[in-house]
Amino acid sequence: MFKKIPYGVKVRVRGNEKDGFIAECAIRTYWFLPFMDDWRLIHRYTHTPYTKNDTFPTLESAKEAAMTLYHRWINDFKHEEEEKRIAKAQCKVVWKHP
């Protein structure tokens, strides 16, 4: 019935063809607001550094941006877990003879 969400990372795309699409992400919402989702926008920056456009012209470009951010967070969390596992394994070694 309930789907497990890896590391609490969720992405979604909202919008329509007329107004454009908005990509959003929610990261570890169960830590802060377990009863409600806290969604943040994924910003897409234009060529000029002073203007930013939050909408994507096509659904595919919004999906691509959302999945890029999703995979980046998943890889960061996996790397963090791997570092913890290695540190824990190294702490157990008290003395080693060559």
Beta carbons within 8 Å of 74's beta carbon, 6+ residues apart: 6, 7, 9
Q: Is the dihedral angle over the CA atoms 12, 15, 21, 22 positive or is it negative?
A: negative
79: pLDDT strictly greater than 90? yes
3: pLDDT strictly greater than 70? no
Across residues 58-86, what is the average pLDDT?
90
Is the CB of residue 58 less than 8 Å from the CB of residue 21? yes
List the chain domain ranges. 6-92
Could you report the per-residue pLDDT of 11-66, keeping only the tens digit for each? 888 899 998 888 888 877 665 555 555 677 666 655 555 556 678 888 998 888 88
